[in-house]
Chain A
Amino acid sequence: MADVLKDKIADVFNEPACGVNVSKSEQQRKKGCAKPLTPGAAAGGCAFDGAKIALQPIVDAAHLVHAPLACEGNGWDNRGAASSGSELYRTGFTTDMTELDIVMGHGEKKLFRALRELIEEHQPPAVFVYSTCVPALIGDDIDAVCKAASEKFDTPCIPVNAPGYVGSKNLGNKLAGEALLDHVIGTIEPEEPTAYDINIIGDYNLSGELWQVKPLLDRLGIRILGSITGDARYRQVAMAHRAKVTMLVCSKALITLARKLEERYGIPFFEGSFYGISDTSDALRTLCRMLVEQGADLELLTRCDALIAEEEAKIWNALEVFRPRVEGKRVLLYTGGHKSWSVVSALQELGMEVIGTSVRKATEEDKTRVTEIMKTDAHMFENMAPKDMYRLLKDAEADVLMSGGRSQFVALKAKMPWVDVNQEKHEPYAGYMGMVDMVRAIDRAINNPMWADLRDPAPWDEASSVTQPLPPLKGTCPVTNVSNEVHQKRALEPSLAALESSAVDFEDC
């Protein structure tokens, strides 16, 4: 590994703003926060995956993957990060390294040529160039290629050094943040900075979740200057250093970026969430308070409180409609992080019973909150093996599983309703209105009439009544021509006649 990359990784793992990291011993901290992966029992993406996830929602930029086919070929255009403008980010660009490129060391040259072709054809505001395992292994210097290409083609080419084997998706997120800090943020000055400019870090606008929150910010007159990165434009991210406050959304991974923005540009940050009603209100209140501290007009707080009161009342009214349909239903929640508690409280408010929630990826803080809300820690669990979860659902100890795509089939194959609450989901559940969408999704899943039909036994599994005995099958099968009638008149082909006649069909007749 290049020393530069090694230093980078050591740097992002030493995160003073992260509670978990601070509570570790010096020795533990050196090891970083990446858990060693177990062969044969690992799940999840690699560092490259994480880096691409974090940067791809910069929608007008081109994203070029320097790799053999698999890294881009198996993964392009597979996420639901929505764009309100350019669609260039959904185009899959790769150098598709061949054996010859690798053996002859043509990687760097090919990358440079690819950059020229890309920029000539699409004229993007910038190109993000991702390194992957193979070019890192053979020592392609993508930093040098990017530097040369940036000058030659007068377009910023940003190297993202996060080859898959250095670690997990989480580490990739962090390294992507570093790339933004090193090469993008602070390179462009906004024309008219205002006292109401904010950064939102860690919301990828999946299915348009950012847009569920935007109307609230619009009404308060707050502008998302740096969206890192959801429905983002390159220039927008480049101006992020002029925001007044940073909100870090459900992401421990990008905390380093938030902290460094504070250190370098004096932008204070807070961690918040737009999932759940109370969380959304809390986030808005904190956001406004911090903006006022940074010089925004004091009346922002009054407007914020008014907005929250109005929206909360509206949303509880809208949710009340669903109460009779979801009350008393038992939910098994298998997500992680802050979602463990931010959704729980809203579901309980509607009379649903949360029989269990996973606390993987959750911090101690998150766990305390869960215990507070659930009044006991008996329902918290870390990981659950698919087999156990299948049994739990099959025995109908829960009415619905809310989880990410990985456990989707565990629920479905147990003939149990499933609601997608992770990043691949197709519906946005953020902000106040998102909560209604989520409860509607639960209602739609649980109360679908097909479940009853599906769970009823097949005709042959029902308690059988006595049927009258029938004589053995007779005649000729119209499909295969095979017959078990000895005296049949119809002449068979000699060869077929030679066939041993059987009472069992070859076919379904």
Chain B
Amino acid sequence: MTTIAHVKRALSTNPLKSSAPLGAAMAYLGIEGAIPLFHGSQGCTAFAMVHLVRHFKEAVPLQTTAMNEVSTILGGAEQIEEAIENLRKKASPKFIGIASTALTETRGEDVVGELKEIVSRRKDFADTKIVYAATPDFEGGLEDGWAKAVTAIVDALLEPGDPVWNDRDLRQVNLLCGSHLTPAEVEEIARIVRAFGLKPIILPDLSTSLDGHVSDAWKGTSLGGTPLSDISALAKSAYTLAIGESMRDAAALIEQRAFVPFRVFRSLTGLKSVDAFIRILMELSGTTDAPPSLKRDRARLSDAYLDAHFHIGGLKVAIAADPDLLFSLASTLSGMGAEIATAVTTSTNNPVIQDLPCTEAFVGDLGDFQTLAGESKAEMLITHAHGRHASAALGIPLVRAGFPIFDRLGAQDICRVGYRGTRAFLYEIANTAQAHHHRARPEDFGADPVPQEFEHVSYAQAS
């Protein structure tokens, strides 16, 4: 049991969190033909868009209802309607995902009601699916916004089913992906599922939309993602695999609507976590064996454990991330004998933070992270790219994980899940530790330095 401490300060220095609407936008971008729409002032959108572009190095179709002073006070229903109309004219999206912001939530708009009225009145909007999630900036962070958006998608687009008379496809499973998974990780998990002869419906699917690829034409919408037809087919699946505790609500909603049983996998990093996943896949595919490639991967990971434990055992690591990512990385490293010297997270909504492999976790920012990591004598930092300030100040290496990573290419390609991904992750940590290897000095042990006069001075230097 981890106790959760809040840092008692009015000032937040170097934010760790990205905002909830941004998380919702990211989830919406995992739907095919989508445009996320922020209900707020145009700055809310501009900041989020720059943030997303800097991370993915891709054009991001993100739009705004452009609330001004008057519409903020009188209500923004007209702005929403006009925005939908303009988006349809400009890019004919199949899906518009709306996320509210602090501005509209402070006023307290009834967007659900207004949207219902708009959609019933505007028959011409019928061929665009419109989904709304309430994601005020002042409540939670990226992970919360993502989770709310996924739940909203299921809520809006999945029709209630009959518990008995349904036409189950026993080879089809739902794969709900949490915000902590990169496009490459989604792809790796899908590969593992497919290796068992199962067909996953991936929601949301960043692996085909934000994986960084050149397509044949210019689109004003997301470049791939979960097809809308797949979302209604969620009801026919045999099972729901939810990756990340934050996906529990969405999985439970699918169960409630369509009677599809589910299981939450808090982490798919680390030998035992992946084993648990493979076990359920074996069950679902009705086999007692696994595909040879996976067996080979597991054997390799076992070897990586052997090689890496020399470097990771006893390593003091400080991690700052959204709850699911924090849990996943911390439990893996702790399972390798590392000490989680500092854990900082963004939100208390996810119960997973109570089960971190450390006695205390803080809800705070990167300023707190720097102070705490310094005090706990951490030897390595793991957080997103903004951690570079703390890394420079403390003089310890930074392993980039989470969002945003704007100062490295290939953020979408980082894969730390499955047997293969875990292996890569262990090597990454071990190599970072080796690269910053401290060479022993006599002073380290309390000895006096070797006297200067014994040192050989070359002729050139002496003269």
Contact = CB atoms under 8 A, between A and B. Distances in A.
Contacts of A390: 217-218
A482 interface: yes
Interface string B50-72: 11011000110001111111001
A47 B67 CA distance: 12
B42 interface: yes
Given A45-B46, A96-B12, A415-B214, A506 B86 contact: no
B18 interface: yes
Given A39-B86, A68-B102, A113-B11, A44 B42 contact: yes
Contacts of A49: 43, 46-47
18 contacts: A38-B86, A40-B63, A40-B83, A41-B90, A47-B43, A70-B48, A71-B137, A74-B19, A94-B12, A102-B106, A164-B44, A387-B218, A390-B217, A410-B59, A413-B215, A493-B288, A499-B197, A506-B195
A75 B47 contact: yes
A479 B293 contact: yes
B72 A133 contact: yes
A41 B86 contact: yes
Interface in B203-243: 214-215, 217-218, 220
- Sorted nearest first, the 3 A-B pairs with minimum C-beta distance are A46-B43, A40-B86, A40-B83
Of the four ranges (under 10, 10 to 19, 20 to 34, 35 or more), the interface on chain A belongs to: 35 or more
A59 to B, nearest CB: 15
Contacts of B9: 114, 117
A42 interface: yes
B102 A134 contact: yes
Nearest to B288: A493
Contacts of B21: 70
Interface string A80-107: 0000000000111111111101100000
Interface residues of B, number: 76
Contacts of B272: none
A93 B84 contact: no
Interface in B129-154: 136-139, 141
Interface string A272-289: 000000000000000000
A374 B72 CA distance: 45
B245 interface: no
B418 to A, nearest CB: 14
A73 B19 contact: yes
Interface string A495-509: 110110000001100
Among B10, B18, B197, chain A packs the most CB atoms within 10 A around the CB of B10
A40 B43 contact: no
Given A37-B66, A480-B291, A68 B43 contact: no
Contacts of B286: 495, 498
Contacts of A134: 102-103, 106, 138
B68 A41 contact: no
Contacts of A111: 10
Given A69-B141, A111-B10, 15 more contacts: A40-B82, A40-B85, A45-B46, A46-B44, A69-B15, A74-B19, A77-B389, A92-B12, A95-B12, A112-B10, A164-B43, A413-B215, A479-B292, A481-B291, A493-B287
Contacts of B54: 78
Interface in B274-307: 285-289, 291-293
A165 B68 contact: yes
B138 A92 contact: no
B167 to A, nearest CB: 18
Interface of A: 1, 36-49, 64, 67-78, 90-99, 101-102, 109-118, 133-134, 137-138, 164-168, 386-387, 390-391, 405, 408-410, 413-415, 478-482, 493, 495-496, 498-499, 506-507
Contacts of B46: 43-46, 49
Given A44-B42, A46-B46, A413-B214, A133 B64 contact: no
Contacts of A70: 19, 21-22, 44, 47-48, 101-102, 137
B138 A110 contact: no
A495 B102 contact: no
A102 to B, nearest CB: 6
Nearest to B12: A96
Given A40-B82, A70-B48, A506-B194, A96 B15 contact: yes
Contacts of A46: 41-44, 46
Nearest to B41: A164
B263 interface: no
B63 A137 contact: no
Among B46, B48, B72, B365, chain A packs the most CB atoms within 10 A around the CB of B46
Nearest to B67: A165
A284 B33 CA distance: 52
B80 interface: yes
Contact of A386 (B17, B69, B220): B220
Contacts of B87: 40-41
B431 interface: no
B107 interface: yes
Given A39-B65, A164-B42, A386-B218, A77 B103 contact: no
A91 B13 contact: yes
Nearest to B59: A409
Given A137-B107, A481-B292, A165 B41 contact: yes
A91 B286 CA distance: 55
B103 A164 contact: yes
Contact of B17 (A69, A91, A167): A69
A95 B10 contact: yes
B106 A71 contact: no
Contacts of A75: 47, 50-51
Contacts of B138: 68-69, 97-99, 101-102, 134
Given A39-B79, A68-B138, A70-B21, A93 B11 contact: yes
Among B9, B14, B80, B86, chain A packs the most CB atoms within 10 A around the CB of B14
